């Protein structure tokens, strides 16, 4: 995973996390520590979850080009971003395992 891609996805994850946390803080004066902790974890794992999602979509779609209205595409992108953020704790281990398998594994020499 390239560092530019990781940083870009981390910024988007942080924006989604800030939206989630601000909604929780505004709804109640008490700071929900457990929910904020999960939001931080989801934000940190989001780039890996998005990597898995984009890899699967890239495999299924190939190099095809679809012409659709921009607003529809933007809506689909936002929905998939929120899905990846909320499910990051379940999806990200797949991406981390793949990256470890391809890059970080010790050689058997």
**Assigned domain for 17 exists:** yes
Q: What integer pLDDT is reported at residue 30 of this predicted model?
A: 74
**Assigned domain for 109 exists:** no
pTM of the predicted model as reported, rounded to 2 decimal places: 0.83
Domain that holds residue 69: 3-104
**Assigned domain for 94 exists:** yes
| pLDDT 10s digits, 59-70 | 998 888 889 999
**Assigned domain for 18 exists:** yes
Report the candidate in 39, 36, 31, 38 with the shortest Cα–Cα distance to residue 14: 39
Q: How many CA atoms lie within 13 A of 36 on its CB side?
A: 11
If one counts the domains in the chain, the total is 1
Please report, for residues 33, 49, 62, 69, 88, the alpha-carbon distance to residue 43 in angstroms, rounded to integers and kept in the order given: 15, 10, 28, 29, 8
Please report, for residues 36, 72, 78, 102, the alpha-carbon distance to residue 42 in angstroms, rounded to integers and kept in the order given: 10, 26, 16, 23
Q: What average pLDDT is seen over the chain?
A: 87
**Assigned domain for 37 exists:** yes
């Amino acid at each position: 995973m390239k560092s530019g891609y990781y940083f870009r996805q981390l910024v988007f994850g942080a924006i989604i996390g800030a939206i989630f946390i601000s909604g929780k803080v505004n709804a109640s004066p008490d700071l929900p520590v457990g929910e904020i902790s999960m939001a931080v974890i989801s934000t940190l794992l989001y780039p890996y979850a998005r990597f898995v999602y984009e890899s699967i979509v890239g495999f299924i779609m190939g190099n095809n080009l679809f012409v659709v209205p921009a607003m529809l595409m933007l809506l689909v992108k936002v929905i998939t971003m929120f899905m990846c953020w909320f499910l990051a704790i379940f999806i990200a281990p797949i991406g981390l395992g793949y990256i470890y398998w391809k890059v970080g594994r010790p050689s058997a020499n």
